[in-house]
Amino acid sequence: MTPVSQAELSQQLTAQLTQQRQAFDAAPYPSYDERVAHLTTLKKALLSHKTALCEALNQDFGQRCHNDTLLSDIMPCVQNIKYSIKQLKKWMKPSRRHSGLQLMPGKVEVVYQPLGVVGIIVPWNFPVMLSVGPLITALAAGNRAMIKLSEFTPATNQVLRQLLADVFTPEQVAVVEGEAEVAAAFSQLPFDHLIFTGSTAVGRHVMRAAADNLTPVTLELGGKSPALIAPDMPIDIAVDRLIFGKCLNGGQICVAPDYALVPHDKVDAFVAAFKQRFNRMYPHGVANKDFTSVINERQYQRLCSYLDDAREQGAEVIPCHDDARDDSQQRLIPHLVLNSSDDMKVMQEELFGPILPVMPYRNIEQALEYIQARPRPLALYLMSFDTALQQQVKTHIHSGGMAINDTVFHVAADDAPFGGVGPSGMGRYHGHEGFLTFSHAKTVLTKGKLNTGKLVMPPYRGLVQKMMMAFFLR
């Protein structure tokens, strides 16, 4: 977008939304075949642009491994489309509900209508998966969409804009770009639903803006997701299961392990195993082409300031490779932080990068209390083969999602909802729950020629009415 005044910006965005809403009103219930055609064409476009997307993301990040992009951005979208197409006919089918004797003879069903126009605000860390992913679900539910892309991924935005323009008209899917003022104006539009992925702080602003229009929101935020290594878990196995989730995309993932809770007598073993495993995966440190750079100077300086703050307050900061930093290229390999305290920024802020505080604990009760005393995270990771402990954590500890003996990959489950709880977000998408999020579940009561409703109409002194009240209130 060329620079314009705030009023002009709002007018442009409102005009785009009006155009989409008018198109939706003219065709408010796309057929199953139309929805499948949209999804199938989108999948073909994704696959045909996969190399361009990999190259663009590498350009935006300064260094991003193509495999990281294929694995975390493109593959989830392709699999999501396949799954959605497979399930869509069942999702669209009205569901019969129990009518009860008081509504007989009548039929009660729930019809799933498209909401209309969905707004999607995209972060910079996974600009393909977090734009196309919600779009897939919105289209499956029969909606149109406006997508606000991040200003920090201009090369990727260019490819996405072309990709979507090849598949959809602006009346079906529109792409918006711009700085913070564009995002603010976008969040103030009266969408039929708004989904935002980003920080908790910005999520509060988005929700306030949406509230003026009573726009329902799905907020996918973040927080400090703990990885709890139980006493029964061998350290080598724990590190092997944890490390990829921390290193993927340079740790710039909302569900990356944010800190590790480790038995106090196994901290040294954890540090040694983590460093050893990292050096096998990324033997050249910051020069390794498989490890993703920090997205920009601002984020790089933020992470470095967290490490400086921790050192100044007495923490021990341990880089996982001798070649640990390249300030000119914004390259930072994982740093483990020992002896951290709640006064340090590494334990106050979501890290969103290659920093991992290691917190010792004396017993499992202490570790669980530590997690429960803090805001509910987007993800929770338990490393344990103890089934009783697994059950306890599953049922007693709140988090948006959870993985046992793994990290991050639970997000890829096509047939399961993804979302936060409390400060880590609200609402769900992915799978059937996503279809429901972007649909209006309308209850429909249908009656025929026989009208039993008159039996309950005034005057209220009849014998039949008294008998009915006695029957239903017994």
> Strands, E, within 312-399: which ranges?
316-319, 325-326, 331-332, 335-338, 355-361, 379-383
303-329 average pLDDT score: 95
220 has catalytic annotation? yes
Distance CA 138, CA 439 (A): 8
Mean pLDDT of the chain: 94
104 has pLDDT over 90: no
Q: What are the tokens at 54?
A: 């990999």
454-468 average pLDDT score: 78
Contact 115, 29 (CB under 8 A): no
358 has pLDDT over 70: yes
Distance CA 199, CA 414 (A): 24
Give the active site residue among 54, 65, 77, 220. 220
Cis ω before 459 (30° cut-off from 0): yes
DSSP 372-393: HTSPPPSEEEEE---HHHHHHH
Q: Scan for tokens 């065709």, then name that residue.
A: 27
Per-residue pLDDT reduced to its tens digit, 37-61: 999 999 999 999 999 999 999 999 9
Distance CA 380, CA 220 (A): 15
Give the model's pLDDT for residue 3.
58
Question: pLDDT confidence of 4, banded at 50, 70, 90?
Answer: low
Output DSSP code: residue 122.
Answer: -
247 has catalytic annotation? no
Distance CA 145, CA 128 (A): 15
Cα separation values, 85 from 103, 110, 366, 414, 440, Å: 36, 21, 46, 12, 20
Distance CA 438, CA 194 (A): 10
152-167 average pLDDT score: 97
Q: Scan for tokens 């402990």, then name that residue.
A: 389
Give the active site residue among 54, 65, 77, 254. 254
Cis ω before 263 (30° cut-off from 0): no
Give the model's pLDDT for residue 225.
97
Q: Which domains does the chain have, with CATH numbers?
A: 6-221+424-441 (3.40.605.10), 226-419 (3.40.309.10)
Chain centroid offset of residue 467 CA: 54
pTM of the entire structure?
Answer: 0.93
Q: What are the tokens at 345?
A: 């920024």
86 has pLDDT over 50: yes
461 has pLDDT over 80: no
Q: Scan for tokens 């429909």, then name that residue.
A: 444
Amino acid at site 368:
L
Distance CA 343, CA 380 (A): 22
Residues 6+ apart with CB under 8 A from 80: 133, 136, 137, 414, 430
Per-residue pLDDT reduced to its tens digit, 125-158: 999 999 999 999 999 999 999 999 999 999 999 9
Checking DSSP bridges between strand 259-263 and strand 355-361, what pairing results, if any? parallel
